[in-house]
Amino acid sequence: MKQNEIRELRGKTVAELDEELKALKSELFKLRFQHATNQLENPMKLRSVKRDIARVQTIRREAELKDAR
């Protein structure tokens, strides 16, 4: 993820972040399935998607804490 994509995520609502998280988890599932059947061309994509999931979860938590104030 590039810096501008991260800035865009920070501007989203918690509901939008939940949708983004759902999409990333779905993508991770598909990549794991491809990896298990030896159809995945770029195994580094798994790592990238996992990190994107962690970023979205972090930004979501920050938004929750910000709203709780």
CATH number of 3-68: 1.10.287.310
pLDDT at position 68, please? 84
Phi, then psi, of 12 in degrees rounded to 5? -85, 160
Residue 69 has pLDDT above 90, yes or no: no
pLDDT tens digits along 22-62 = 999 999 999 999 999 999 999 999 999 999 999 999 999 99
Domain ranges of the chain: 3-68
CA distance 27 to 22: 9
- Taking the CA atoms of 34, 50, 53 and 8 in sequence, report the sign of the dihedral they define: negative
> What pTM, to 2 d.p., does this model score?
0.91
